[in-house]
């Protein structure tokens, strides 16, 4: 892509650059020889009664430094981009340099990552070097949503407990990072019934984990739970294939208490974990998966 709307600007810049260099050289040549009043070695210019301008010559090598800068400029403009939009003989660009440096860095770390990739996740989770890299990858990429301690927040699942929406095996974690996940709870009010029936189901759901609830309402809601069982299972244990959460543990990703559960049944919710397959290389994902896998298994920590 051109840097300019019209190539005329490029020519304009190039001409201005060359003319400026030529002007510098001309100035140097003109200034190198000058008429000086010989009698007292002043220019003859007297002002403020007795101030005179003396000729205090610079050393000649100083002038050659000036010439050197001109030669350098010419050489630079031939080799590197600078003269309008000319690319220069070396065809250098900051983008190409950046890419070359990245390629070199990847090549440098390749053997390390190759060794990591060949190590199974449970073993890798005990490797302090890999986990230090994993921690940095996590802090820079995952902590934005899941928190620096991976314990998440409302709507963002904790990765440090044993409760896994999509499964906690190394393969499942790798798949989650690579492809992302989209969990969808449809609005279920129509399937459950009226507002009172929704409240009863909510109390039944709360009873599953032994959370504070209305026992009578929960008893009444048990039958209505059939509508939920399709995804959450008849016992409410959830289904990692669908990302349907386990309702029997005391983990409340989208809010705790009767009100929050009623709201969820009524409105449903779509929650997305974006895919990171293009952001990382496969060995990086492997290291990250090992780090995440190890978070909920302190015994496996290095």
Partner 1 sequence: MPQPSPSPARVIPIRPVPAESSAEPRTVSLYQKHRKIYPRSVQGWFAHWRWLMVWTTQAVFYGLPWLPWNGRAAVLFDLAARRFYIFDLVLYPQDFIYLTGILVLCAYALFFFTALGGRLWCGYACPQTVYTEIFLWVEHRIEGERGARMKFDAGPWDAHKIARKTAKHAVWVAIGLWTGFTFVGYFTPIRTLWAEAFTLDFGPWEWFWVNFYGLATYGNAGFLREQVCKYMCPYARFQSAMFDRDTLIVGYDAKRGDPRGTRGRGTDLAAAKLGHCIDCGLCVHVCPVGIDIRDGLQYECIACTACIDACNGVMDKMKYSRGLIRYDTQNGQDQGLDRAGPLRRVLRPRVLIYGTVLLLIAAGLVTSLALRPTLKVDVVRDRTTLARIVQQGRIENVYRLQLMNATEQVQRYRIGVQGLPGVQLAQAAELEVLPAQARWMTLAVQMPPQSAQVLGPGSHPIRFEVAATGHDTTHVSERSTFLIPR
Count the residues of the shown chain that bind partner 1, applying the rule CB under 8 A.
Answer: 38
Q: What is the token pair recorded at 189?
A: 């009010």
CA–CA separation, 251 vs 206, rounded Å?
11
Q: Identify which of residues 59 and 215 has a Cβ nearer to partner 1 in the complex.
A: 59
Taking CB under 8 A as the criterion, the residue among 13, 63, 86, 117 binding partner 1 is 63
Q: Identify which of residues 120 and 210 has a Cβ nearer to partner 1 in the complex.
A: 210
Q: What is the token pair recorded at 127?
A: 């490797």
Contact in structure between 6 and 37 (CB atoms under 8 Å): no
Quick check: 58 binds partner 1 (CB under 8 A)? yes
| Binding residues for partner 1 restricted to 235-274, rule: CB under 8 A | 256
> CB of 108: closest distance to partner 1 in angstroms?
15
Contact in structure between 228 and 188 (CB atoms under 8 Å): yes
Q: What is the token pair recorded at 287?
A: 């290291």
Quick check: 298 binds partner 1 (CB under 8 A)? no
Quick check: 45 binds partner 1 (CB under 8 A)? no
Taking CB under 8 A as the criterion, the residue among 1, 2, 5, 35 binding partner 1 is 35
Phi, psi (5° rounding) for residue 156?
A: -120, 110
80, 81, 84, 86 alpha-carbon torsion, rounded to 10°: 90
Taking CB under 8 A as the criterion, the residue among 49, 61, 190, 299 binding partner 1 is 61
> CB of 160: closest distance to partner 1 in angstroms?
10
The interface region with partner 1, picked from 8-16, 99-107, 148-156, 239-247 by CB under 8 A, is: 148-156
CA–CA separation, 74 vs 82, rounded Å?
10
Q: Roughly how many angstroms between the first and final C-alpha of the chain, as a whole number?
A: 50
Taking CB under 8 A as the criterion, the residue among 25, 145, 223, 229 binding partner 1 is 145
What does the DSSP 8-state code read for residue 160? S
What distance lies between CA 26 and its chain's CA centroid? 52
Quick check: 88 binds partner 1 (CB under 8 A)? no
Taking CB under 8 A as the criterion, the residue among 4, 27, 57, 72 binding partner 1 is 57
Taking CB under 8 A as the criterion, the residue among 44, 122, 187, 268 binding partner 1 is 44
| Cα atoms found within 13 Å of the Cα of residue 43, Cβ hemisphere only | 12
- Interface residues with partner 1 (CB under 8 A) are 31-42, 44, 52, 54-55, 57-63, 135, 139, 143-149, 151-154, 156, 256
């Amino acid at each position: 892509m051109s840097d300019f709307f019209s190539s005329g600007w490029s020519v304009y810049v190039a001409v201005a650059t060359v003319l400026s260099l030529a002007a510098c050289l001309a100035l140097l040549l003109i200034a190198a020889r000058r008429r000086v009043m010989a009698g007292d070695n002043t220019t003859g210019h007297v002002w403020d009664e007795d101030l005179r301008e003396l000729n205090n010559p610079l050393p000649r090598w100083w002038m050659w430094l000036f010439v050197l800068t001109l030669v350098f400029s010419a050489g630079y403009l031939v080799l590197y981009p600078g003269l309008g939009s000319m690319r220069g003989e070396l065809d250098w660009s900051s983008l190409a340099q950046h890419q070359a440096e990245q390629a070199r860095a990847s090549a440098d770390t390749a053997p390390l990552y190759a060794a990591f990739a060949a190590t199974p996740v449970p073993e890798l989770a005990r490797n302090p070097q890999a986990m230090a890299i994993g921690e940095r990858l996590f802090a820079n990429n995952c902590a934005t949503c899941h928190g620096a301690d991976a314990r998440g927040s409302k709507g963002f699942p904790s990765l440090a407990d044993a409760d896994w929406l999509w499964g906690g095996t190394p393969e499942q974690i790798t798949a989650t990072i690579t492809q992302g996940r989209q969990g969808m709870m449809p609005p279920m009010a129509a399937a459950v019934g009226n507002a009172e029936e929704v409240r009863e189901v909510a109390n039944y759901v709360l009873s599953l984990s032994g959370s504070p609830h209305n026992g009578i309402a929960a008893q009444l809601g048990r039958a209505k739970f059939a509508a939920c069982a399709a995804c959450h299972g008849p016992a409410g244990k959830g289904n990692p294939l669908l990302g349907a959460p386990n309702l029997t543990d005391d983990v409340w990703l989208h809010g705790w208490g009767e009100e929050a559960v009623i709201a969820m049944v009524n409105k449903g919710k779509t929650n997305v974990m974006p895919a990171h397959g293009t952001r990382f290389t496969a060995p990086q994902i492997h290291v990250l998966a090992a780090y995440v896998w190890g978070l909920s298994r302190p015994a496996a920590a290095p």
